[in-house]
Structure 1
């Protein structure tokens, strides 16, 4: 896989574009490809942030890096680095949200906020995820 590109066709995070139908896994190594965000109509998307350059991430410590990702129908699987302070706002109209703290689901759920242990213990967030799905699931895991 080439850094900054997607493993499967149909969606390219970092170009702020829309993809109709796609299943993809993305493992970026640089922050600059993430901040424009992306959206998809139908699909399963995995975003693994564990390969991001730690020195680059820490250089953003005064302002969190906002990463928007949204979909119509499908699953968003996000893997965040356990050693980087991370928060997320998640919204699923019909479906569920799961993270290291548990799972919530239903119809018409409002925004659910996630924060990893570093943020819960007082660290300022470096990564902030803005995630939404109309129908489906959002899962956030730490690695």
Structure 2
């Protein structure tokens, strides 16, 4: 599922318990990952091709692959 936005905030809600892999690129802003009991965040400039995965995606094949490209803003990926 590719998502591309120039400027703004992107919020992706994934199904709870899914094997998820997210590859994100953010020119300026922050990225937050709160999926599968794992919470991570990073911010700054030039955040390119950062990959986040649930443990189940690391152990096997991801059921859902999310690609987010954002010029400037905040990316949030979380479970419902």
CA distance in 2, matches of 1:117, 1:82: 13
CA distance in 1, matches of 2:8, 2:29: 10
1:12 maps to none
1:90 maps to 24
**Structure with a larger share of its residues in strand:** 2
1:107 maps to 45
Deviation at 1:123, TM superposition (A): 2.7
Structure 2 unmatched ranges of 5 or more: none
CA distance in 2, matches of 1:109, 1:86: 20
Please give the residue correspondences for 1:1-143 in structure 2 after superposition, counting only pairs within 5 Å. Answer: 67-100=1-34, 101-120=39-58, 122-143=59-80
RMSD in angstroms over aligned alpha carbons?
1.1
Are the counterparts in 1 of residues 32 and 75 from structure 2 also a CA contact under 8 Å?
yes
Q: Rg bigger for which structure?
A: 1
Deviation at 1:102, TM superposition (A): 1.6
Normalising by structure 1, report the TM-score: 0.50
Of structures 1 and 2, the one scoring higher in RCO (CA 8 A, sep 6+) is 2
Describe the superposition over 1:91-133 as per-residue Cα deviations: whole angstroms up to 9, x where unpaired.
100001001222101011221101123213x131011011010
Runs of 4 or more consecutive aligned structure 1 residues displaced over 4 Å after TM superposition:
none
CA distance in 1, matches of 2:17, 2:40: 20
Structure 1 unmatched ranges of 5 or more: 1-66
Are the counterparts in 1 of residues 25 and 68 from structure 2 also a CA contact under 8 Å?
yes
